[in-house]
Each structure stands twice: as structure tokens, then as C-alpha cells.
Structure 1
Amino acid sequence: MSIGEVLAQLRPEFPDTTISKLRFLEAEGLVEPQRTPSGYRKYSWDDVARLRFVLTAQRDQYLPLRVIREQLADRDAQAAAGHGRGRPTLVAVGPSGQVPGRAGAEVPQTRLSRADLVSRSGLDAGTLTEVERLGLVVPIAPGWYDMDGLVVASAVAGLLRHGLEVRHLRAVRAAADREVGLFAQLVAPLARQNDPAARDRATETARELIGLSQRLHAALVRAGLRGTLGR
């Protein structure tokens, strides 16, 4: 496949992916498409699966490229030792066993109606309205939400099931806003450049900062609860 055909395969699941992003991942050594004699990139299904593995790890786990590269190197080594192959076949399997991008695969929703969000998150419509007033869930258009909205709504629903109230989450929103302001200062100089590679680096830096922030927050909460748990 050409790079444009690969982009068409990945875009339904990863709508923010661009050709410059694919070139960036190649420059970082995460995928190595073959080249035609005239220099055009040609991707195999294994290459597409490898890219899907990288993009999924970034989106769902906020892993930095360094860590993803190490995971892929480990998989490559295991595949070479076990099967005599230089790289593994990495296939992202959907919830029903489908392979995204192949015939019969389901395309994940990246845009949800209000009814979909309520149904999938576990929040009722009234609580969703309260959550929106706090700015925790922000529609991308009137009555429509993205996948981040679903993640937030699902997390809020889980916290409420444990006895928290929506008003308790004001502090969470305020802390996130302060963090956004801090991280924006770090990535804005790269994001403002006209160079696509610089903008891709800004995106990767933001992903890494988010992942580190999540780890820090979780560790601080665990440490803070040790006294309560008696451990």
C-alpha cells in the first residue's frame, strides 16, 4: 500500500493521524516500509498492524515513543528467536475478534450523540447536564461528543457509584486546568512552528507529559491512602 492508502486504513480509528505523522513514526524507527526503486514507500499489512499497535499505545496508554520502541524491539527479538522472523505480525483485535482495516471489521465511533454517550457511559441525562455545567464533559458540537467525552463520562459514572457527588469533582476540573496551562507552555513553541515534524513532536511531547502526569497522580494518591489503609 502507498502511504495514502495506509492513512485511509488508519483514519477511521485514529482520526488525528496525518501523512506527516506516519513519516514521523518512520523517522523514529517504529515502522520500516519498503521503498520502490523511485523512492516511494510501500507498506505491508504487517506494517499497518505495527502502526496500529503504536497509535493504540499512544492513545490508550499515553506511552512515550521510547517505551513503545522498546516493546516492539522485544517483540521483534522474540519473533526472531521463535520463528526466524525479523519482526512480529502485530494485529489489533477488536472486541468481537475483528481485525480493524480488514473486511468485516467494525469502524469505531469517534462521534457520539447525547443518547449514545448516556447509554455507553452509565450516566443518566440529568447527571450529564450537571457534569457539563462543571466543564468536565464538553460537546464538540451541540448534542455531539468525542471519545474523550466518553472516557470522562464513564470515569465520572464510576466515581459516583462509589459515593462521590458531582460537586466534589470541581477540584479535579480545576487541577486539570492548571496542568493544561503548565503543559501548554512547554509544547506551544513547537506547535506554533510551520514545520510538520515540529508539530508532530509537540503532539508526542504532550502525550508523554500526560502519561507522566497520570503516573505521578496515581502514585501520590496511593501514598496518601497508605495511612488510611494501614499499609
Structure 2
Amino acid sequence: MTTTTESGTGAATRLHTIGAVCERLRAEFPDISISKIRYLEDQGLLAPKRTRAGYRLFSEADVERLVTILRLQRDEFLPLRVIRDELRSPSADRAKRRAAGIAGVEDEIDMQELCGRAGVSIEFARQLEEYGLLAPRIEAGERLYRESEADIALACAKIARYGVDARHLRAFRTAAGRQSALIEQVVAPGLRSRNLERRKAALADLDMLAGVAQELAQLLLTRDLREVAER
């Protein structure tokens, strides 16, 4: 059930019962349940409104937050503790972008805004671009970057603080390129298909494989570094 209430400014606000939220999200998350949503609330990840009788009412923002949580669980295998920290931090927008998946549409920013968001110098950003870590789109001579490129620049800057320069950070780009090339071989026939349903299925496979590949890369890296620590 969906209800409409009036906000303090007189604007109408659509609110949804927990059952309506389940039905709405079941197509993307077949295992969603009322008990699971209640559990996420108990863990401090959701805070829906309550009626006088104690019934939960979810706003559109609540539903959007729930979708972000579920996608981060499904696609990036993040534990609830990490998801909670992400949503509480200034990087919450980054979490939403990641949760949007491969097919998600991103806004574009210019070099100046990228540097401001990542806290890096223009010189450092140009070095990252030189070694393939940043990939702008050039329009009328202006470099435009997806918002997630600022996240990449920020991550590179964090590693650079330990004395690793942009040239050596290229190793991460090379590894990612090899992984994406392998996955491309798997889904390319479907992506090139003229059949809309087959193409949609291929995009879904691409999104899923991206998440699993990221998990595998993280597990392998952790194993190797654990061996370094034990030497």
C-alpha cells in the first residue's frame, strides 16, 4: 500500500508500507522479504517513519537507500558494517554510483572539479591521465570525466602518499585491463546481438561478472599480502 502525506511545506510525500516495498523490489531482488528489511533496520541501516500504531512507512529516499544497500551486498559482497560506514560518510554518493552497476549513467565533471573532489593537484591528475588511470572524454577541446574518475584519482592519491608515483600505479590499470578483456570475451556475443532481450541479459551478466571479478581480485590480493605479512 502507498499513502500520501503533506510535508511542512505543503508538498505531497509518497510513503510505502513494508509489504509494498517488498513487492516493488522483488523483480530485482527475488529473495527480499519483510524480515530482511526489518533486520536491516535493526542494524541501523534504515530508519523508516512510524505511524501511531507502529507501522513502518518508507519514503522514496528510504527505498532508494534500501536498493543501494541490497546492490552493494549482492554485487560487491560488502558486509553490513562496511555498508553502514559508506552510507554515513561523505562518500555515500560514491556508494550509490557503485551500486548503480555497469549500466548506470554518471554525470560528468571537468578537470577542476575532479581535482577538488579528489583533493589532488592538476599536475597529479595529468600524470594519472598520461598513464591511463584517468580516461576523459574530450569535447570541444575540454576534458570531461565521469564522476567515478574522481574516486579513482582519490584512491591513487592515497597510495601515492606512500611514495608510489603515477608511473607505478599503472600496474593497477594494466591488471584491470586484463580482467575486463577476459570478461569482454564472455559477454561480447550477447552485447553485439540485435535481440533486445539477449542484450539485456548480457548486460546483467556483465554487471554480475564485474562484482565477482572484483571479489576474486580482492581475495587474491589479500592472500598475497597475508603471505607478505607472515614472512
TM-score w.r.t. length of structure 2: 0.57
Counterpart of 2:31, as a letter, is E
In 1, distance between residues paired with 2:202 and 2:63? 28
Segments of 5+ residues of structure 1 without an aligned counterpart are 1-43, 55-64, 98-107
In 2, distance between residues paired with 1:50 and 1:216? 32
Report if aligned partners of 1:137, 1:149 keep a CA contact under 8 Å in 2. yes
In 1, distance between residues paired with 2:197 and 2:188? 14
Which stretch shifts more, 122-131 or 197-206?
197-206
**Counterpart position of 1:70:** 31
How far apart are 1:151 and its partner, in Å?
2.2
The answer to whether the aligner puts 1:91 opposite 2:70 as a matched pair is: no
Residue-by-residue CA offset, 1:97-152 (whole Å, 9 max, x unaligned): 9xxxxxxxxxx971111100000012210011111011111112232111231221
Identity in percent: 26
The answer to whether the aligner puts 1:224 opposite 2:185 as a matched pair is: no
**CA gap 1:179/1:228 in 2 versus in 1, 3 angstroms:** closer
**What are the within-5 Å matches in structure 2 for residues 29-48 of structure 1?**
46=16
Report if aligned partners of 1:183, 1:206 keep a CA contact under 8 Å in 2. yes
**What are the within-5 Å matches in structure 2 for residues 79-228 of structure 1?**
90-92=62-64, 110-141=107-138, 142-228=142-228
Counterpart of 1:112, as a letter, is I
In 2, distance between residues paired with 1:216 and 1:206? 15
**CA gap 1:200/1:221 in 2 versus in 1, 3 angstroms:** same
In 1, distance between residues paired with 2:229 and 2:40? 41
Report if aligned partners of 1:76, 1:88 keep a CA contact under 8 Å in 2. no
**CA gap 1:137/1:117 in 2 versus in 1, 3 angstroms:** same
Segments of 5+ residues of structure 2 without an aligned counterpart are 1-13, 42-53, 66-86, 93-104
In 2, distance between residues paired with 1:177 and 1:72? 38
Q: Note the aligned Cα RMSD (angstroms).
A: 4.0
Report if aligned partners of 1:123, 1:153 keep a CA contact under 8 Å in 2. yes
> Which is richer in strand?
2
